[in-house]
Amino acid sequence: MSNPLLNDYLKKILSARVYDIAIESALDNAPFLSERLGNQIWLKREDEQPVYSFKIRGAYNKVVQLSDDEKAAGVVAASAGNHAQGLALAAKELGIKATIVMPRTTPEIKVQSVKARGAKVVLHGDAFDDAFAYSQKLVEEKGMTYIHPYDDPETIAGQGTIGMEILRQMRQPVDAIFVPVGGGGLAAGVAAYVKALRPEIKVISVESTESACLAAAMAEGERVILDQVGIFADGVAVAQIGENTWEVCKDHIDECITVTPDEICAAIKDIFDDTRAVCEPAGALAVAGMKKYVEQESCEEQNFVAIMSGANVNFDRLRYISEVAEIGEGREVILAVTIPEQAGSFQQFCNLLGKRPITEFNYRYGDDDKARIYVGVKVGAEGNARQELLNELQSKGYPVMDITDNEIAKYHIRHMVGGHAPDAVNDERVYRFEFPERPGALLNFLRKLGKRFNISLFHYRNHGAAFGRVLVGLQVPEDKVPQLEGYLNELGYRFWDETNNEAYQLFLR
């Protein structure tokens, strides 16, 4: 039975005006991934577009179809990433004035990229919501035409040309297409085209665990707004699936998969190994989800397509990505191990590890009886190598704790191991924060808390995103904790109480 919604999108996709400016991107086989996963893996290379992202398709298709009056009024959007660059280039190509409102936390490289494509950049607020509100003010006051990054039928149709190309380019039968999801424009476009013509092909959405708004909507049967959205995969950091995109996705996405930031980092490395291309985190989502799907379903000898949606990654973020890629792949385990504080104990411990490469080893004298070491060890990704190592250490009498997935162990303690706090540090409570990367954020924090509570520990880490990771210790008597958390809520920074975190207790307390 024909579906009116899909038929309407099919017509829009077939007549979409994307190739005035976009290219038909390559569909490349990934030989290393294919061999490792036991299936044929194909990568749709949207990183090859003029703005290194698929966003140029939808932005141009929307702008080119505006009326003369809408074009004359100029176009505006709120964006900190790929939509901004796509719209800027589309407007420049069509001779239209474009204004992009970006949060003040936007990395300079992205600001300059948008300016280089002829758009006016307005920096406003610390987050996307602030930028969006200001863009709507420009629409109201100046009559500018707002170009939505995903929730518009013409934008969806532009992104849907990727599905059209995949079906045309693949000579083998396609078993599943994996699509990254933020607001859902790409997923809706690809699903609409594929399900209209080849309904037997699975279209599987992949989201970050930090921003899984489609999975949440699927679970509830309606659009929901996430309480919090993480920004590691900033290209898909959306709190609610779009209204138009939901109408397609709710009936035509076969399955939702979510992946962690660590798994995304591992996928970035996988893509690099096969293509020498460096994806942004959102660009590697589909590959991360595909890997998880193969493992869960025990798939063999199938043809899977993963859409590499973009490659606009900040160079300084690569340090962080490479640091956790091995963890995401399951090839590195981080352990807290207690060994005797006596001569020869280090050598004895290393002998037990055998030929397993040690990636990190941190230690500082604690007391006369025992030493606690923070150690990273490479293990095989296949089988149960992680558990086998733990079992081996325990069988030899070593107290050991697996802290591979411990947030503050990964991001802070590995840089801080240096001995426990002195006895004089009483009533210490430890909080983990995400600070906006803008001038004054730290000063604002200190003004709010520094004169009220003594800061006993501080570690800051920037990993090339709009937010830095901060670990703070504060001396707070038990009866003052509610007062403290009231101040923290006023600050508006995301925070977590890590006082009872095992890694903190072992290495820093």
Helix (H, G, I), strand (E, B) or coil at 58: helix
Of residues 508, 494, 317, the one with CA closest to residue 428 = 508
DSSP class of residue 357? P
Q: For residue 189, which phi and psi values (nearest 5 degrees)? A: -65, -45
The count of other CB atoms within 10 Å of the CB of residue 43 is 27
Distance CA 469, CA 435 (A): 6
| Cβ 152 vs Cβ 243: under 8 Å | no
Distance CA 248, CA 245 (A): 5
62, 309, 410, 456: the active-site residue: 309
12, 55, 269, 410: the active-site residue: 55
Spell out the alpha helix ranges (H) of 276-330. Answer: 285-297, 318-329
Distance CA 113, CA 89 (A): 10
Distance CA 432, CA 409 (A): 11
Going from the C-alpha of 410 to that of each of 59, 167, 319, 334, 360, the distances in angstroms are: 38, 41, 13, 8, 12
- What does the radius of gyration of the chain's CA atoms come to, in whole angstroms? 25
Annotation marks residue 309 as catalytic: yes
Specify the pairing of strand 40-45 against strand 303-308: parallel
Q: For residue 150, which phi and psi values (nearest 5 degrees)? A: -150, -30
Annotation marks residue 396 as catalytic: no
Q: For residue 115, which phi and psi values (nearest 5 degrees)? A: -60, -40
Of residues 131, 89, 139, 86, the one with CA closest to residue 106 = 131
Residues classed as catalytic: 55, 309
